[in-house]
Amino acid sequence: MLRSLYAGVSGLRNNQVRMDVIGNNIANVNTVAFKAGRVTFKEGFAQLLQGASRPPGDQGGINPVQIGLGMQIGSIDQIFSQGNLETTGLNTDVAIQGDSFFVVRKGNQSFYTRAGNFQVDADGQLVSPANGFIVQGRMYDNGLPLDGIKDIKLPFGQKVSAKPTAQATLAGNLNASAPVFQGDFDDPLVRANPINAKAWTETQIGVFDSQGTKHNVKLQMWKTGPNTWDWKIDPIASAQTFEIETDGDSPPSAVPLPVPPSGYEILAANVRLYSAAGMEYVSPDDFGFTAGPPPEVTFTASMPSNTKIKVSYFMSPTAETASENSGTFTFDQAGLLNTDVTASLNFAVPGANPVRIELELGGGVNGITQFASTASTAVLRDQNGYTAGTLQNFSIDRFGVITGFFTNGTTNPLARIVLADFNNPSGLLRIGDNMYQESANSGSGVMGFALEGSQSQLTSGALEMSNVDLAQEFTNMIVAQRGFQANGKVVSTSDELLQELMQIKR
């Protein structure tokens, strides 16, 4: 039998394997993060017809005489070159730029993938949609990382607790050219005097107590000297309303107001009168507001019978220490605030801890200043408290940190995606669904985080595309086809030789 026949058969068989790999590459040209395969060949066995001989001294040596017996598959390699990124806009889509792999888990078994087209399931777990394997990472609790690598779970409806305001920032300028305020600042008629209009200013901001309840506070400042401004802070009163309907011809001469809860005081009251049909009377101006426990609104004018009385009163948190809610700003000759000036706010609220706030006044020109201008621009700019909130959305940054956005406007880290690196990624075992397993020659996965323990980084809202090069695959297809044809020709030619051999007997 002709050895060329078997050599040609091996060429046919192994070039068919190469076509199988090329066909698989082309079939997966649009598969997320697919890595192309490559076939390499090696020479098969070689039959030794004559061994080599050493030079005997008076003549040269003789090389061995061998005939090859065909070819074999040398290797089928996975090419882990970086694929291009495709923008998707979905915040659960994540692409790796680098050599790392995502870690997913089914039960206690870990798998690895480059495909980052993840989804959030009904339980809030971040999973691979192909098989439901759960993405692994480090979880956070109230912004602090927890130990260990666990299933990533992002339950919508997760709450973040309220944070009481402890600091507020005052910034801007007080008009140095403003006149000195004349008269009693607490008298609203005096404040409304055109002479005093430019001599004072006010600003307000919302602050939060320990239960997340918002309270508006107002800061008023008025000029008392060339380089001094007095200030005071008042919690803005909240309006309360109730109605009383009188019977017959005996309307009451006084209406008691409810006892304010602990930590509140009643500042003022207003009365409006309505007929039984709902028509509003002119509210009387001559009623008295007496401060007794409880306060009451007394009427000195006669009222119509069958009158509906609508009473509005205003409650404000009481100051813990009055001196903390007022003081004086003093400026130097350059218009800068003296460094020893401090300001704080302190008031009690019912059912929560007292609100204690330090005002951050800044320093130099970036803080509160006194320069000549057309008007004062000092404002309470921001504060560090917030109410409770629930998880509304999330994003993933290049470090793999999943940040939650809450309904109260705050953000908190929720988890961080872990990555795995291998000494020999080509040694991983493909198991389908874009998944890989460790093999004896891949080495164990080294866990780390993007740009921290791993040199890879992540891109959210994008997916890695297949790294199949169609131009190269078509070229390889032509080479494989011609190789198959050539080996087929060897087989047919060997067959013809055998046919000639069979005809010798004739």
Residue 166 confidence (pLDDT) above 80:
yes
Burial of 398 (0-12, 13-18, 19+ CB in 10 A): middle
**CA neighbor of 136 nearest in space, from 148, 123, 146, 151:** 151
Instruction: Provide mean pLDDT across the span 378-389.
Output: 91
pLDDT of residue 399: 96
Helix (H) or strand (E) holding 412: strand 411-421
Residue 34 confidence (pLDDT) above 50:
yes
CB 46 within 8 A of CB 488: no
pLDDT of residue 364: 83
**CA neighbor of 20 nearest in space, from 489, 488, 480:** 480
pLDDT of residue 289: 47
- If one compares 362 and 324, the residue with the highest pLDDT of the two is 362
Helix (H) or strand (E) holding 503: helix 470-503
CA distance to 255, 256, 288, 383, per residue, from 303 (Å): 13, 17, 15, 48
CA distance 400 to 397: 5
Per-residue DSSP letter, 366:
G
Alpha carbons within 13 angstroms on the beta-carbon side of residue 371 total 13
User: Tens of pLDDT along 102-155?
Assistant: 999 999 999 999 999 999 999 999 999 999 999 999 999 888 899 999 999 997
**CA neighbor of 441 nearest in space, from 453, 429, 455:** 429
CA distance 372 to 274: 51
Burial of 243 (0-12, 13-18, 19+ CB in 10 A): exposed
**Single-letter residue type at 506:** R
Residue 247 confidence (pLDDT) above 80:
no
Alpha carbons within 13 angstroms on the beta-carbon side of residue 118 total 29
Widest distance between CA atoms in the chain: 151
User: Tens of pLDDT along 441-472?
Assistant: 999 999 999 999 899 999 999 999 999 999 99
Weakest mean pLDDT among 20-29, 68-77, 401-410, 492-501: 492-501
CA distance 209 to 206: 10
Residue 292 confidence (pLDDT) above 80:
no
Residue 262 confidence (pLDDT) above 80:
no
CB 297 within 8 A of CB 282: no
